[in-house]
Amino acid sequence: MAQPQAPITLTIDNLTSDGDGVGRMGREVCFVPGALPGEQVLVRLQGRRKKVWQGRLLEVQQPSSDRREPPCPHYQRCGGCDLQHMDEAAQLAFKQQRVEREFSRQGIPVREWQPAITGPLWHYRRKARVGVRFSKEQQRNFIGFRESASEHLHDIDRCLILPEHPLYNWAAWRDLMATLRGRDIITQIETLDTDNALALVVRVLKPLVADDQQALLAFVQANAGERPVQVWLNHGRDKPMECLWPENPEPLLHEVDGMSLVMQPDDFIQVNGDVNRQMVAQAMDWLKPQENELIWDLFAGHGNFSIPLARRSRSVLAVEGQASMVSSLQAQAQRLALSLHAEVADLSGEGALARLPTPDKVLLDPPRAGAAEAVREVIARKVPQVLYVSCDAATLARDLTHLIAAGYQADKAGIMDMFPQTHHVETMVLLSRKGKRNG
């Protein structure tokens, strides 16, 4: 089929895993970002990719009852919140259906689906990386997020999923940048909204001159509001971060399971604090760690699950690939007098867990690539019970097929809406070896 020069009308009958509308032209398929099932839309074809046409939405001729006006003025260009055109109830239904569809494709039965965990729909994101780019042609800085399917930064003034705070006024940051001599060496502003302070990490290609540092601090102090604020400079990989203000910063804290955990400004943290608290509570309820059990927490981070598990079990072996997080986790366990041992290991590598003693239960919380090697080890050890927390339904389903084939069954599963207004979804699955099911 040759690409038509004129726009075409399509009826949308489904959504892709990324939330794009799916329309059909005879035997041809077209993906249309921003379109919803049941809609008739006017589309301009933009070429084919992997045997599928890509379309640009020009007009919604017959809207779905699930459609709404996106609340954010930056929605059309910012690549962040790609489902703002969809009512939140429909977003949640789409995410549930998406995970169930992935499981069905792989033939994964679930004994019991649990209600979804939900939280705030806006102003929930406690950590974000805001891009900064200096344009020589225009002699100004762009500050914002990448445009959809593009490397270009889209200027934003305010982001509706970030907390409400004067320092999240990005138009004011652009005004500040215009006064700096080093405005072309700043590449990113990372925001971290912890329980006791707001930390801003400014990434620079080389050191800021003294005048620029003073201008930055004056801007932050003038807009700090009621919350304590910390300002850090990130000089790149393998270089220690520098705290510009205050001189002696308090440790950054966030609460997990009723305990305050210490974190560094560059540590990984689940971005939705309310959903994370519910997720940890559900994990403890489902896995039911016992006082006589040894538990592995794989891809442990800085202790989001490890610390709660250690409060309830005989011992926890926490494995994480980032050495700084392992050191932090071990120090926190010692401070809290918990029986926890943390180790550094590349869990994508074969044999990373071979020398560890066999656990009674395992908790997996891998990155988007999944946990293929760890799953092989779990199967080889015949671990009675596994709790898998995933941020990618496709790799989760892939890993679950191996567990199911090895004699495990999915006792419970449920989604968690960690990222409202986007197509991303977290999923939790409790598995047991057949004949070994607990609870």
Two tokens, residue 205: 């290609």
* Cα–Cα distance for residue pair 188/146, rounded to 1 Å: 12
> Which residue ranges make up the annotated binding site?
270, 299, 320, 365
Q: Where in the sequence numbering do the catalytic residues fall?
A: 391
Instruction: Report the chain's C-alpha Rg in angstroms.
Output: 24
d(CA 9, CA 45): 11
Query: 271 near 125, Cβ under 8 Å?
Result: yes
For residue 225, the one-letter residue type is: G
Which tokens sit at 105? 């494709």
The annotation places the binding site for S-adenosyl-L-methionine at: 270, 299, 320, 365
Which residue, 169, 189, 180, 200, is CA-closest to 140? Answer: 180
Length of the chain: 439
Question: What backbone phi and psi angles, to 5 degrees, belong to 59?
Answer: -160, 140
156 in Cβ contact with 141 (< 8 Å) = no
What gap in Å lies between CA 400 and CA 325, rounded to an integer?
Answer: 27
Q: Are 149 and 31 in contact (CB under 8 A)?
A: no
CB-count exposure of residue 323 (10 Å: 0-12, 13-18, 19+)? exposed
